[in-house]
């Protein structure tokens, strides 16, 4: 059986390069791993499932919300290829620094990771995007992010514990939404944790 493009991306962009030094020995484990500030590098199985649902194509413009360690941003960049563009946004300043440094080492110059603007969800100033990945849990499907998609664009996000795949309609109306499994993630909108040792939650 041929390996999927997502599988190829995960083989090419090794998780270990996006982990703190004291966690790299555990990089092959299929579990979330702590990266500080109460956040984790997400379980590889969860990341694979989300990326399969997102169905990124070469040349896509992609937004990575809750970019964390930068791993998902780098995986998305591998999937878009150099003709695409990936923007990661992260609320926790310490993780912005950590994730941006990890991403720089991955040598994917069409991808970037930056500080999320206070009170702003996503990246409306540079929308629209073809795909949006959300690695944080929302109570309801974030309409602000759906509005940042091109017509026919896709957002994948955990909402109320379920993984949703929503497609913005090409001719107006409500998005087409599918549910896929149960997951646990850090809340989508929250103040950055002040304590790097706070209790962990799933993240990119």
Which residues belong to the active site? Answer: 42
Using alpha carbons, select from 128, 39, 48 the residue that is nearest to residue 87.
128
The whole-angstrom separation of Cα 114 and Cα 96 is 6
Residues 6+ apart with CB under 8 A from 86: 61, 62, 63, 64, 73, 76, 77, 80, 108, 110, 111, 112
Using alpha carbons, select from 50, 51, 39, 41 the residue that is nearest to residue 6.
51
């Amino acid at each position: 059986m041929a390996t999927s493009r997502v599988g190829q991306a995960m083989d090419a962009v090794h998780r270990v390069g996006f982990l703190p030094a004291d966690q790299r020995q555990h990089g092959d484990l299929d579990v979330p791993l702590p990266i500080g500030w109460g956040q984790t590098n997400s379980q590889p199985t969860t990341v694979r499932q989300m990326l399969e649902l997102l169905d990124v194509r070469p040349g896509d413009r992609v937004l990575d919300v809750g970019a964390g360690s930068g791993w998902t941003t780098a995986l998305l960049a591998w999937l878009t290829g150099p003709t695409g563009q990936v923007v990661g946004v992260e609320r926790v300043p310490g993780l912005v620094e950590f994730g941006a440094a990890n991403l720089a080492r991955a040598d994917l110059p069409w991808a970037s990771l930056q500080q999320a603007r206070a009170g702003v969800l996503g990246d409306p100033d540079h929308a629209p995007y073809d795909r949006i990945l959300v690695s944080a849990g929302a109570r309801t499907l974030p309409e602000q992010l759906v509005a940042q998609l091109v017509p026919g664009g896709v957002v994948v996000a955990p909402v109320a514990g379920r993984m949703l795949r929503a497609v913005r309609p090409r001719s107006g109306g409500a998005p087409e939404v599918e549910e896929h499994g149960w997951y646990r993630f850090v809340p989508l909108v929250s103040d950055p944790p002040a304590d790097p040792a706070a209790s962990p939650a799933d993240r990119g």
